[in-house]
Structure 1
Amino acid sequence: MSEQIKHECGIALIRLLKPLEYYQIKYGTWRYGLHKLYLLMEKQHNRGQDGAGLTTIKFDLAPGKKYIDRERSNSSSPIKDIFDVVNRGINKYSSKPELMNDPAFAKENIPFAGELFLGHLRYGTFGNNSIDYVHPVMRDNNWKSRTLVLAGNFNMTNVDELFQRLVDLGQHPRDYSDTVTVLEKIGHFLDEENQQLFRQYKNEGNSNMEISRLIAENINIAKILQAATKDFDGGYAMAGLIGHGDAFVVRDPWGIRPAFYYADDEIAVVASERPVIQTVLNVKSEQVKEIKPGYALIIKRNGDISEAEVRIPQTRKSCSFERIYFSRGTDADIYQERKKLGELLTPAILEAINYDHESTVFSYIPNTAETAFLGMVKGVEDYIRNEKKRKIIAKRANLTEKDIDEIISTRLRTEKIAVKDVKLRTFISQDKGRDDLVGHVYDITYGTIRPNTDNLVVIDDSIVRGTTLRESILRILDRLNPASIIVVSSSPQIRYPDCYGIDMAKLSDFVAFRAAIALLKETGQESIINTVYKKCKEQQNLPKEQIINYVKEIYSPFTYEQISDKIAQLLTPKDVKAKVKIVYQSIENLHKACPNDLGDWYFTGDYPTPGGNRVVNNSFINFIEGRDQRAY
């Protein structure tokens, strides 16, 4: 993606299923779990830019010993920071290697030497980026079975409702955010489960010490999650640790946010992305399982691992943007899907260049569009091969050696046109010289285009705001003097805000929305804007289940191509000489390429949860009323 779009968080959970001594003997270090956690977090660094944290729970320590360690950072290098803290505790004993490498001593004396680990990479879509908002967050208690640690990849559309329900329970939440609200909601039902079991075991005549053990053994995590999540409206993959040693990861019933796990007799691992687990543990793709939508993976203190349904699974609406851009492209399925997205664009691309592939150079916007580019190349090469076949058949009676040479010498022309200067991007600030710096984030390879003759086709994963295209890419590509520039988006037009964890929350940010508004004004249909505003306002106080997405009416008067052409007009700087055209992926082809991930609300406005309709309408109201803020 040519634009920087921050997105959802990443989780990493590890449960060591053997004593620390086992890993010291087999792998030469009791730090096996910490090493794996570090790798899981580093390989998901793409998922969090605002902070990182980890929590460790030690089993079987005597009362008075610290059994939970937590470290968080919101610096520019948060993973390094938190593991520097971990290593300082270990290196304190570097002069005494016999102690530093003794698992029993480490567990008693060294922070983070435990059996249960939870790591998190945060991108903050709600609240601010203070350290208080960095996960894991914790609800502490002297009873281990009431202590809750939580980290997640989630965003709730109905924080107001959830907050009010906590207030109605008699609580006084310390903050108004989805993180605190979710923590307290789960914590409330964790307390209720503890209290119910306490009364049961007390009535049976057990001592308080014995009751603590019985609660830890029999606490029903699935029951707690069923009660806590019943009114959640959002996308979520939440990981939790209970102080006595139980752990869970629960996923929303639509499967909006991803979660995968692997388990053997040594270790259980959960992460937001499948290839991360494959790489870190060196296991095959089929050994890594997806946590099913609406289910919780539950890892008990005794090592038992199970999946339990906690919400009725709904029509699967896992996020297609995960597939297009955000997830690591090393996943076997995602890699093929991204190639297919590029391949399926071939007919529209050929039409845009009037089928003149011999006078066209094909390229991509680095770095993430490279896989879609490979698919586009395959599609055009297939077309060229069929054209060669057609010409040979048409001339077969009079085919000369010269004809054969001319036909088979036709090749697809591909070049690496744009070069991204990553170091320059990190230097860019918000000062007055920003625009000039942005204009130089990309450079070009000179001499690759025949001036005023060749078309230039460049593919990108998606076009969201279009800022980098307008301020940088189109101007730079125009320096090569192509006859035309065709920018291809492997995703469809982004028309509607996200409310489930990706930083695309304001309608005014989307160039497709700006294009539709401009077309309404140009064609004398401005009354539609006012009508939609009135309908949105009339729904503001309705229950979210009754709200309709009226923003769809902004787009309905125009064809897909009309909006694409208007986008091209809006994004083409006045000093660009080449003719600019923008080609978008179709919704139909998106679903062909990603058949198992049908969450397409960014493109269609079809939100999987009722809270989504409220968010999009509120976003439109904010736009009309001039409020530059998120709608949730």
Structure 2
Amino acid sequence: MFKECSLNDLSKMDISETEIKNDKLHEECGVFGIYSPSGGEVSKDVYYGLIALQHRGQEACGIAVSDTSGEKGNLKLKKDMGLVSEVFHKEDFSNLKGNIGVGHVRYSTTGGSVVENAQPIAMNYIKGSLALVHNGNIVNANELKEKQMYRGLAHYTTTDSEVLAYEIIGDRVNSGSIEEAIKKSASKLKGGFAVVVMSPRKLVGIRDPFGIKPLVLGVKNNFVDGKGEQGSLFDNEKFDKHNTYILASESSAIRAVGGKVIRDIKPGEIISITSKGITSDYDLCQEKKAHCIFEYIYFARNDSVMDGIAIHTAREMAGRALARKSKVDADIVVGVPESGIPAAMGYSKEANIPYVQAFYKNSYIGRSFIKPTDEERRDAVHMKLSVLEDEVKDKNIVIIDDSIVRGTTMKQLIIMLKQAGAKAVHVRISSPPFLYPCYYGTDVPTSKQLIASKHSNEDVRKNIGADSLEYLSIEDFKYMVGDLQICKACFNNDYPV
């Protein structure tokens, strides 16, 4: 049974940066692919695209490039553990020359956190080379892997992405095109996935038929006028071989490299970009969709637009819905940096309660989870996030966050606010209680680790030390995403696959 959390508990709490990181959900990966038919160098754009997707994975990253005018098998690859800015340096780009490329940022949910599991997955085979980047989780990967091993295929990673690469290569040997091989392989898969494949002459993307994982198409205009300046952008969205074409997990990554979003890839669509144009195959498309609701709650960057929905607007609408559902007598509204801020702004507007920045986040502290002792890790946490005492002293506060997973983070934040003089802290969460794990490439723990799964709302409130606690309801999702078909399995146990 939980006990009420008190201010004196702060000295007893053993919360490291790792634990706070683990008290959030994590997207598995971000993917980026780019093709310049006219021969422009792409490695720097891949780098900047991955920087824009860094929030989707911080454990490992990689870039693979090729030159479509060269011989087959001229693939060049670099990948390693760490952030994009740590793994890649200026001198790397002279070794990563090519006009077609793919990149990846990784957070592991399938396979361990080791360099062997970093992506892209790159292979040479009888018909050329292949580099693959994958976001998601293939539920039946073990079954497919067992069949591959019976055929004598050696696996060098523990990821489902390698399983998928082997499936595509196996089907490619007996197919007329890489697109046909990808379609045949994808028809065997169960789960959520967005995949970009670089072959020697093509860039091919596919999104799972439910649309669980996002994938976006964009274009970057390369024309230069006679004065040496960039001409008018995107006057014609028809295919032009002088343009550069992009596939990415989010629209923000396309804009980060100076591109323009054309559209979202349709669930089940296979899109192929070559020097002759862009083609799509819709044979795997289906009526039932199940877009991951957590892209809109938390995963996607705040400035992205996904399936026609502006992420910032969706989160603000969630905050407004919370304010309508659970009114509270409070002086200020605060958001947990960074993910809770848009919903807090929406709550503030709807409830007509001032929004205040109550936390200062130090962006210049290093990755404190690698520090050697628990004491040093705790010190680093407090250096990263501190309370602005003048803003919260003698105030009744509504604090907004996107989720409660284990409860450790919110518990510590409430203690910090009350130590700074807050009279009361009312917690509002812009998602329903987490009750069930996710199997589609989101790192939701087992039900045993989900605090709301085994305990009542009142028990959770007491455990985190809140004066009140309310969640968004499943029915309120309509205010966030309208009539978009979404996956709600982690809240209601209704899995699409």
* 2:444 corresponds to 1:566: no
Cα 1:253–1:463 change in 2 (3 A) is same
Structure 2 SS opposite 1:60: coil
2:208, 2:48 → 1: CA distance? 26
1:85, 1:508 → 2: CA distance? 47
TM-score between the two structures when normalised by the length of structure 2: 0.84
1:457 to 390, 398, 409: 398
* 2:373 corresponds to 1:431: yes
* 2:416 corresponds to 1:445: no
* 2:63 corresponds to 1:86: no
Structure 1 residues 481-522: Cα deviation after superposition (integer angstroms, max 9, x where no partner): 44421011111111111121222132222111131xxxxxxx
Residue 292 of structure 1 aligns with an amino acid whose one-letter code is K
* 2:87 corresponds to 1:114: no
Cα 1:83–1:292 change in 2 (3 A) is farther
Cα 1:424–1:475 change in 2 (3 A) is farther
Quote the residue 2:481 is aligned against: 594
Shift of 1:593: 1.1
1:157 to 131, 139, 143: 139
Residue 442 of structure 1 aligns with an amino acid whose one-letter code is L
Structure 1 residues 59-108: Cα deviation after superposition (integer angstroms, max 9, x where no partner): 23358xx621111121x344443344423xx3xxxxxxxxxxxxxxxxxx
* 2:415 corresponds to 1:475: yes
Quote the residue 1:240 is aligned against: 197
2:43, 2:485 → 1: CA distance? 33
Larger deviation, residues 230-239 vs 428-437: 428-437
2:380, 2:218 → 1: CA distance? 45
Structure 2 SS opposite 1:17: coil
Unaligned runs of 5+ in 2: 1-19, 220-238
Larger deviation, residues 146-155 vs 163-172: 163-172
* 2:262 corresponds to 1:280: no
2:171, 2:334 → 1: CA distance? 55
2:264, 2:354 → 1: CA distance? 40
Quote the residue 1:607 is aligned against: 495
1:36, 1:170 → 2: CA distance? 38
Quote the residue 2:426 is aligned against: 486
8 Å CA contact retained: 1:225, 1:310: no
Residue 344 of structure 2 aligns with an amino acid whose one-letter code is F
Shift of 1:569: 1.5
Cα 1:436–1:70 change in 2 (3 A) is closer
Residue 252 of structure 1 aligns with an amino acid whose one-letter code is D
Residue 165 of structure 2 aligns with an amino acid whose one-letter code is L
Structure 1 residues 313-335: Cα deviation after superposition (integer angstroms, max 9, x where no partner): 25211111111111110125111
Structure 1 residues 216-242: Cα deviation after superposition (integer angstroms, max 9, x where no partner): xxx333321222122211110011122
Quote the residue 1:18 is aligned against: 38
1:417 to 343, 349, 358: 358
2:157, 2:50 → 1: CA distance? 28
Residue 320 of structure 1 aligns with an amino acid whose one-letter code is I
Cα 1:16–1:282 change in 2 (3 A) is closer
Residue 419 of structure 1 aligns with an amino acid whose one-letter code is Y
8 Å CA contact retained: 1:442, 1:473: no
Shift of 1:423: 4.7
Shift of 1:415: 2.4
Equivalent residues in 2 for 1:473-622, closer than 5 Å? 473-515=413-455, 563-572=456-465, 580-595=467-482, 596=484, 598-609=486-497
Structure 1 residues 602-629: Cα deviation after superposition (integer angstroms, max 9, x where no partner): 21111111xxxxxxxxxxxxxxxxxxxx
* Identical residues among aligned pairs (%): 22
1:270, 1:83 → 2: CA distance? 23
Shift of 1:146: 4.0
Quote the residue 1:306 is aligned against: 279
1:60, 1:483 → 2: CA distance? 68
Structure 1 residues 1-28: Cα deviation after superposition (integer angstroms, max 9, x where no partner): 98444322111111102134xxxxxxxx
* 2:230 corresponds to 1:230: no
* 2:166 corresponds to 1:184: yes
1:62, 1:336 → 2: CA distance? 47
8 Å CA contact retained: 1:7, 1:501: yes
Cα 1:172–1:442 change in 2 (3 A) is closer
2:435, 2:164 → 1: CA distance? 29
8 Å CA contact retained: 2:75, 2:129: no
Structure 1 SS opposite 2:453: helix
8 Å CA contact retained: 2:116, 2:157: no
Shift of 1:147: 2.3
Structure 1 residues 501-555: Cα deviation after superposition (integer angstroms, max 9, x where no partner): 222132222111131xxxxxxxxxxxxxxxxxxxxxxxxxxxxxxxxxxxxxxxx
1:238, 1:62 → 2: CA distance? 24
Q: Which has the higher strand share?
A: 2
RMSD: 2.4
Cα 1:439–1:39 change in 2 (3 A) is closer
Shift of 1:426: 2.7
Residue 367 of structure 1 aligns with an amino acid whose one-letter code is E
Structure 2 SS opposite 1:6: coil
Cα 1:174–1:513 change in 2 (3 A) is same
Q: Which has the higher helix share?
A: 1
Unaligned runs of 5+ in 1: 21-30, 91-110, 194-218, 382-411, 516-562, 573-578, 610-632
Quote the residue 2:216 is aligned against: 260
Structure 2 SS opposite 1:61: coil
1:320, 1:458 → 2: CA distance? 22
8 Å CA contact retained: 1:425, 1:438: no
Structure 2 SS opposite 1:448: helix
1:344, 1:569 → 2: CA distance? 24
1:468, 1:440 → 2: CA distance? 15
* 2:296 corresponds to 1:323: yes
Cα 1:378–1:413 change in 2 (3 A) is closer
Shift of 1:189: 0.2
Quote the residue 1:251 is aligned against: 207
Shift of 1:438: 4.3
Shift of 1:364: 1.5
Structure 2 SS opposite 1:261: strand
Structure 1 SS opposite 2:448: helix
2:263 to 289, 313, 338: 289
Structure 1 residues 563-589: Cα deviation after superposition (integer angstroms, max 9, x where no partner): 3222112222xxxxxx62111111111
Quote the residue 1:69 is aligned against: 76
Structure 2 SS opposite 1:569: helix
Quote the residue 2:248 is aligned against: 271
2:379, 2:173 → 1: CA distance? 56
How many residues align structurally? 449
Structure 2 SS opposite 1:73: strand
* 2:321 corresponds to 1:344: yes
8 Å CA contact retained: 1:222, 1:309: no
8 Å CA contact retained: 2:117, 2:157: no
8 Å CA contact retained: 1:418, 1:443: yes
Residue 339 of structure 1 aligns with an amino acid whose one-letter code is E
8 Å CA contact retained: 2:196, 2:203: yes
Residue 330 of structure 1 aligns with an amino acid whose one-letter code is D
Residue 593 of structure 1 aligns with an amino acid whose one-letter code is M
Query: Quick check: which has more Rg, 1 or 2?
Result: 1
Structure 1 SS opposite 2:467: strand
Structure 2 SS opposite 1:447: helix
Quote the residue 2:335 is aligned against: 364
* 2:27 corresponds to 1:49: no
TM-score between the two structures when normalised by the length of structure 1: 0.67
Residue 248 of structure 1 aligns with an amino acid whose one-letter code is V
Greater relative CO (CA pairs within 8 A, separation 6+): 2
Shift of 1:135: 0.8
